Amino acid sequence: MAFELPDLPYAYDSLGPYMSAETLEFHHDKHHNAYVVNGNKLLEESDLKGKSLEEVVAASYNGGAGGGLFNNASQHWNHIEFWQWMKPNGGGAIPGELEAKINEDLGGVDAFKQAFIQAGVTQFGSGWCWLILNNDGKLEVTKTANGVNPIALGAGTALLGCDVWEHSYYIDYRNRRPDYVEAFVENLVNWERVAEIYGNASS
Ligand code: MN3
C-alpha cells in the first residue's frame, strides 16, 4: 500500500500565531511530502510492500539498524499523527478521564506539561517528545531521536507527540525551542484527539 500525503485537517493559516501558515506550508507540503515520495521509492524495492504503515515502521526499524525506509515510513506516520494532534484554538482543558490518569501517573497536569516541555527541550538535535501509554498501562513522558517512535520501540501507544526538528519551529521561533514546545502544549494540542487515542488504547 503506497504512502499518501493526507491533507491538513485545518486551514494553513488557522494555527496562528502559534504556528504560521509559512511553517505549515513548508512542513506539510515539502517535508512531509518528501517522506512520502522517498518512502514510496524505498517501499517499492522492499519486501514490506503491501503491509500497513505501522507494520512497515515496526519491521523496518530492525532493532535500530533501520535505514532509509524506516526513516521515511516512521516520519510519515509521525506527521500524519502530528497534524491531528493540533487544532485551531487548541490547548485548554483536558477531558476528565485522561486528566485523572495524568494526575494519577504523572503528578498533575502542570507536572506533565513541565516534563513534556523538558523532554522536547533536552532532545539533543532532531527528534520528538511523547506522551505514551506504556506496556504496563502507565502514562509516561519520553523523547526519541530523529524519526524513532513508540511503534518502532514497541514502547506502547503514542497518545501525543511534538516534532522538535528545527523545520517545525525555526521560521516562527528561531532558536527558541522551549517557547515552541510550550506554545504547542498550551495552545495547539487537540486534547479530544489525545483522549480518543487514550480511550481506544485503554479499553
Ligand atoms: Mn517534521
Three state DSSP letters for 2-46: CCCCCCCCCCCCCCCCCCCHHHHHHHHHHHHHHHHHHHHHHHHCC
Q: Which of 25-29, 138-142, 186-190, 199-203 has the lowest mean pLDDT?
A: 199-203
* Cα 14 to middle of ligand 1, angstroms: 18
**Mean pLDDT across the chain:** 97
User: Per residue in 29-69, pLDDT tens?
Assistant: 999 999 999 999 999 999 999 999 999 999 999 888 889 99
pTM of the model: 0.98
User: Quick one: pLDDT at residue 63?
Assistant: 84
Task: Cell 523538558: give the residue.
Answer: 118
* Cα 167 to middle of ligand 1, angstroms: 6
Domain boundaries, the chain: 21-84, 96-202
Question: One fold for both 21-84 and 96-202?
Answer: no
Which CATH number applies to 21-84? Answer: 1.10.287.990
Q: Residue 139: CB partners within 8 Å, gap ≥ 6?
A: 101, 102, 105, 106, 112, 131, 132, 133, 159
Mean pLDDT in residue range 97-105: 98
* Cα 105 to middle of ligand 1, angstroms: 29
Q: At the top level of CATH, which class does the domain 96-202 belong to?
A: alpha beta
* Cα 100 to middle of ligand 1, angstroms: 30
**Considering the chain, what percentage of its residues have pLDDT values greater than 70?**
100
Nearest to 145 by CA among 170, 164, 173: 164
Residue 79 is inside which H or E element, if any? helix 68-84
* Cα 73 to middle of ligand 1, angstroms: 13
* Cα 26 to middle of ligand 1, angstroms: 10
* Cα 203 to middle of ligand 1, angstroms: 30
User: Quick one: pLDDT at residue 66?
Assistant: 83
